[in-house]
Structure 1
Amino acid sequence: MATLPDPDNKPGPTPSHRPTKRDDLLEIEATRDLTAAEHALGFWPAIRQYPQATFWSMFFCLAVVMAGYDAQIITSFYALPAFQQKYGSPRRSDIPSGGPDIEYEVPAPWQTALGMGNPIGQILGALASGYPLERFGRRWTLAACCVWSIGLVFVQFFATSVGMLCAGEILGGLAYGFYVVIAPTYSSEICPLALRGFLTTSVNLAFVIGQFVAQGVAAGLESRLDQWAYKAPFALQWLWPVIILIGLPFAPESPYWLVRQGRNADARQSIVQLSSSKNPPDVDQVLLGIEQTDLLEQELEASSSYWDCFKGANLVRTEISIMVYLIQVIGGNPLIAYATYFFEQAGLKSSDAFNMGVGNTALGFVGTITSWPLMNYFGLGRRTIYNSGMIFMTILLFVIGFLSIPTNNTAAVWAMATLMDIWTFTYQMTVGPICFVILAEISATRLRSRTIAVATAVQAAATIVTTVAMPYIFNSDEANWGGKAGFLFGGISLVCLGWCYFRLPESRGRTFEELDILFQKKVPARQFKHYDLHVEDEAASQG
């Protein structure tokens, strides 16, 4: 196996430093000290050692704010009186005072068409992201997507028909597909092991911030009956790409990507930029660790195409990545996107529904932040947090379903709305943020952008299904399930919980190299946490 080119003319990894095979068991002696140092580095020392990595990881997550904002603002429009009057159809409803009145509701087909833009765009964008990310790197790809977003916001803002608005949503969604691949990929590649969970959960926090801002904007404009009630929210989308384009020239490129391009000197400089000048890590050792991980993955898999995501040990890694992301959709997350509309259809007044919707996303923000001490202070593993969240969320969904059985019960309506908020808090504290940690950790570094792209595409495809189904589930002139949707998502969530128990491994505290070896050895998911690679390797060597 050839060594990687070294622009500095420094000696490459010697044969004794390379990962080798012995009786089909992989040796990790070359990086034993590096691995031990990674495990020993605590959270706060890592923050002090890598302050720039922390900043730039969160900066890249600004792009994800746009994706969360766009998806939420469209569904919020369905409960917006101005939008309902512009694009809705009249319906008769009996007012408690006794007199009939005319109300408007956006027909289910139009809700489906508008909501379809973001997920369709995400599928196409995610699958298209693989080549430019590997060819041009993370920074240039993100810059191009920001320019694209700025142009497509013009289409949405000046749309003269629903059809034009739908086209703007689909084309704009192409960039969102890139954003949700770039952010977790970049975050996982610029930070040490101690910060990996914290920084990758920031991707979920960015989604929540986008949803929260969208709910707040919609609630603030709820009383307006002119076109600015829905045009102003579109205009706000010009803010984030401009900020990102201003900051990108100063952002360091991913050192993992630079090493794969043979630009080791640039990778070293990137590590220097990402770390503290007063309390720097051993830059040469960090670079060696990145080189060794890349060499190991070259030894295990020569290429890095989409097809390789479904070969050998990578098939299991792709399955896990797809499932943890897919569960976000099929396990009940659409109820968050439709929270305001859900509250309104459940019987709350429009103003109360919007206030509950804002509270729902605010709880999501607090929940995501709460996941940080769970991982770092209490030291809970990814598998533990994810599965615990799934258990509690499944129970809540069934309770919501049972509360919907009584009709015309105001107390039951408020109870369902409250439980929906609790469900959101639980989701955003567990399954929501931990999903992005698992995505960033489970995939092989050479296949990370493509694995995340495949998982994003599958998740977006599932979102299309729910986008089609949700209006028919909730609309009063269709199924009109309301809270009974809890039974549907509760049942699906129960099945997903079974998969999590048997197939979801524990990746906390494992370097990327260790994870490569664990998957190559086909260690069962439930044994990842306690499997000692060094002991096993020594036993194999003595045998």
Structure 2
Amino acid sequence: MTTTNNDDVRKESPAELKRGHLLEIDATRDITTAEHDLKFWDAVRQYPMAVFWALFFCIAVVMAGFDAQLVTSFYALPAFQQRFGDLYEGSYEISAPWQTGLGMGNPIGQVLGALACGWPLERWGRRVTLGVCCIWSICFVFVQFFSTSVGMLCAGEILGGLAYGFYVVIAPAYASEICPLALRGVLTASVNLAFVIGQFIAQGCSAGLESRLDEWAYKAPFAIQWVWPVVLLIGLPFAPESPYWLVRQNRKDDARAALKKLSSQKDRPDIESVLAMIEQTDLLEQELEATTTYLDCFKGANLRRTEISIMVYLIQVIGGNPLIGYANFFFEQAGLNASDAFNMGVGNTALGFVGTCLSWLLISKFGRRTIYNSGMALMTLLLFIIGFLDLGHSHSGAIWAQATLMDIWTFIYQMTVGPICFVIISEISATRLRGKTIAITTAVQAAASVIFTVAMPYMLNSDEANWRGKAGFLFGAVSLICLIWCWYRIPESRGRTFEELDILFEKKVPARHFANYDLLQSSEDAHLSSEKADIPV
């Protein structure tokens, strides 16, 4: 038997590597080490256009956040009530069934859109698929803008929501595939910031137009939705495609050109080494999974990766976020009039914006697992406190305390669980299955949103269960169970290349050991052992 030494393996092209080499970091040892050593600001200087294009794609997510927040805010808008509502005891209001229908339009559309996006993403790539979705959005904003009945508006919401399902999948997948390791956390977390910006703009538009009594009180916000797809369509022809997708399409020269577009001419990294790492990662995943279907997301090591991705996104819904959507309800109970309660809602969204920005600092200092679990622990505690404050006789002070705790909960959520979720799902999923994995997680999360959209009014309305703040007990208990799951199942992906993550999952390394498992050293030990045994690696 011949012996294969370290230098021989490094000289092999990724296509020539045998399966025995694939579970060791060796052919890409140098570039893997360089990725680990690259600091944040050095990465920004090397990849300035990667930062720009990742944020540019997030504009699509702004649309999704804007639409979801906009329609629900219209329920208290006098002009909207008169146009689409029914007269009841001298005043107009949107009936409960239509409120439910309109509220579910966005999440139902996201479920269908997310599940439908896997094939076009892999067939046409991120850039073309996003362009088609922008045209789709422009068309169905027309339906919303010119709606003459609440049923027509509901149809426009559902059909427009199909594109939002695509947007939420494309943005994090694209950001994770065009940037180096040092930038991956911040840029994928920007997806959550885009959501918050969309919600904040929607709240501001509704608050600013609340006093108008003509049709432009609700038509103007709908018209704003034409701005973002037009901006995207103007910029997309110049955007580089994902190098990972291009390698999977056997377009190596195009992948090389894309990497050059994403990096700086002055401080350009070794493009050939980066390209070799992408090829090696793709080769490894081809060996581990022969096909790239939705079913493959639930096979072998990918089952664990899909479970983690689904849960960290689902926790956003089942862990208390629906309750925070009713903060205005508590402000009104505390004695504020509708207008002031609405303005307090804008303040709640602003806190979320600040929290998401602060998450970038946390991401640069702490691991994903640490941030997510810490956030879950604090949020769980706050939910139980909200529940206890509602025991006994409810008074204004207790309601104000609950509303304040909701603001604090929002701040912590947007600083931890909210943005880190998008980082985790973008890093944990295999590159060949990333689009489909994120699609599945988005669909599950949106489906849960549909359920809670129906359930929340029955939990909180005074003529139904009238739980008020006691709903904190329900969400607190669910959040506690989720926290236990997080401790045992969420791995630390900070500082790991996609190739390293593939290997760690294939080796079945426990979640709590991901951070300290030294793949570079274990690869070196494997070579030494094989050389002593005189067998090839």
Instruction: Report the residue type matching 1:212 in the other structure.
Output: F
CA contact (8 A) 1:20 1:27 kept: no
Q: CA deviation at 1:489?
A: 1.3
SS, match of residue 370 in structure 2 = helix
Question: 1:417 maps to what in 2?
Answer: 403
CA contact (8 A) 1:19 1:27 kept: no
Question: 1:509 maps to what in 2?
Answer: 495
CA contact (8 A) 1:214 1:233 kept: yes
**1:32 and 2:18 are equivalent in the alignment:** no
Distance in structure 1 (CA, Å) of the matches to 2:337 and 2:91: 13
Q: CA deviation at 1:350?
A: 0.6
**1:530 and 2:516 are equivalent in the alignment:** yes
Distance in structure 2 (CA, Å) of the matches to 1:75 and 1:15: 52
Tell which deviates more after alignment, 507-516 or 401-410: 401-410
Q: CA deviation at 1:103?
A: 5.9
Which structure 2 residues correspond to residues 5-404 of structure 1 after superposition, within 5 A? 14=13, 18=17, 20-21=19-20, 26-88=23-85, 105-341=93-329, 343-344=331-332, 347-376=335-364, 379-404=365-390
Distance in structure 1 (CA, Å) of the matches to 2:137 and 2:325: 22
Question: 1:454 maps to what in 2?
Answer: 440
Q: CA deviation at 1:112?
A: 1.1
Distance in structure 2 (CA, Å) of the matches to 1:54 and 1:335: 34
Instruction: Report the residue type matching 1:428 in the other structure.
Output: Q
Distance in structure 1 (CA, Å) of the matches to 2:316 and 2:353: 16
TM-score, with structure 2 as normaliser: 0.93
Tell which deviates more after alignment, 491-500 or 428-437: 491-500
- Structure 2 unmatched runs, 5+: 1-10, 530-537
Tell which deviates more after alignment, 229-238 or 30-39: 229-238
Tell which deviates more after alignment, 277-286 or 182-191: 277-286
SS, match of residue 78 in structure 1 = helix
CA contact (8 A) 1:156 1:168 kept: yes
SS, match of residue 308 in structure 2 = helix
Distance in structure 2 (CA, Å) of the matches to 1:104 and 1:478: 21
Instruction: Report the residue type matching 2:38 in the other structure.
Output: L
- Structure 1 unmatched runs, 5+: 1-11, 93-101
Gap change, CA 1:118 and 1:470, over 3 Å in 2: same
Q: CA deviation at 1:230?
A: 1.9
Q: CA deviation at 1:336?
A: 3.8
Q: CA deviation at 1:14?
A: 2.9
Q: 1:521 aligns with which of 504, 507, 530?
A: 507
Q: 2:463 aligns with which of 452, 477, 484?
A: 477
Sequence identity (%): 73
| Residues 494-534 of structure 1, C-alpha deviations (whole Å, 9 max, x = no match) | 11111101111110000000000000000111111111112
Gap change, CA 1:210 and 1:88, over 3 Å in 2: same
Tell which deviates more after alignment, 218-227 or 27-36: 218-227
Gap change, CA 1:330 and 1:104, over 3 Å in 2: farther
CA contact (8 A) 2:330 2:400 kept: no
Q: CA deviation at 1:15?
A: 6.6
SS, match of residue 147 in structure 2 = coil
CA contact (8 A) 2:12 2:27 kept: no
| Residues 465-499 of structure 1, C-alpha deviations (whole Å, 9 max, x = no match) | 01111222233332333322222211111111111
Gap change, CA 1:132 and 1:341, over 3 Å in 2: farther
CA contact (8 A) 2:333 2:396 kept: no
Q: CA deviation at 1:107?
A: 3.4
Distance in structure 1 (CA, Å) of the matches to 2:484 and 2:96: 33
Instruction: Report the residue type matching 2:297 in the other structure.
Output: C
CA contact (8 A) 1:76 1:341 kept: no
Q: CA deviation at 1:113?
A: 0.7
Q: CA deviation at 1:89?
A: 5.5
CA RMSD, 1 decimal: 2.0
Q: CA deviation at 1:407?
A: 4.6
CA contact (8 A) 2:14 2:279 kept: no
Instruction: Report the residue type matching 2:67 in the other structure.
Output: D
Q: CA deviation at 1:109?
A: 1.9
Q: CA deviation at 1:342?
A: 5.0
CA contact (8 A) 1:76 1:340 kept: no
Instruction: Report the residue type matching 2:17 in the other structure.
Output: R
Gap change, CA 1:541 and 1:71, over 3 Å in 2: same
| Residues 124-167 of structure 1, C-alpha deviations (whole Å, 9 max, x = no match) | 11111011111111111000000000010011111111111110
TM-score, with structure 1 as normaliser: 0.92
Q: CA deviation at 1:418?
A: 1.3
Distance in structure 1 (CA, Å) of the matches to 2:428 and 2:420: 12
Question: 2:535 maps to what in 1?
Answer: none
Distance in structure 1 (CA, Å) of the matches to 2:409 and 2:77: 24
Tell which deviates more after alignment, 462-471 or 480-489: 480-489
SS, match of residue 27 in structure 2 = helix
Instruction: Report the residue type matching 1:528 in the other structure.
Output: F
Instruction: Report the residue type matching 1:537 in the other structure.
Output: S
SS, match of residue 76 in structure 2 = coil
CA contact (8 A) 1:16 1:30 kept: no
Question: 1:97 maps to what in 2?
Answer: none
Question: 2:415 maps to what in 1?
Answer: 429
CA contact (8 A) 1:19 1:26 kept: no
CA contact (8 A) 1:71 1:118 kept: yes
Equivalences, count: 520
CA contact (8 A) 1:19 1:30 kept: no
Question: 2:479 maps to what in 1?
Answer: 493
Instruction: Report the residue type matching 1:37 in the other structure.
Output: A
Gap change, CA 1:16 and 1:108, over 3 Å in 2: closer
Tell which deviates more after alignment, 345-354 or 460-469: 345-354
CA contact (8 A) 2:61 2:164 kept: yes
Distance in structure 2 (CA, Å) of the matches to 1:87 and 1:484: 33
Instruction: Report the residue type matching 1:460 in the other structure.
Output: A
Distance in structure 2 (CA, Å) of the matches to 1:345 and 1:148: 41
SS, match of residue 30 in structure 1 = coil
Gap change, CA 1:145 and 1:13, over 3 Å in 2: farther
Instruction: Report the residue type matching 2:308 in the other structure.
Output: I
Gap change, CA 1:29 and 1:216, over 3 Å in 2: same
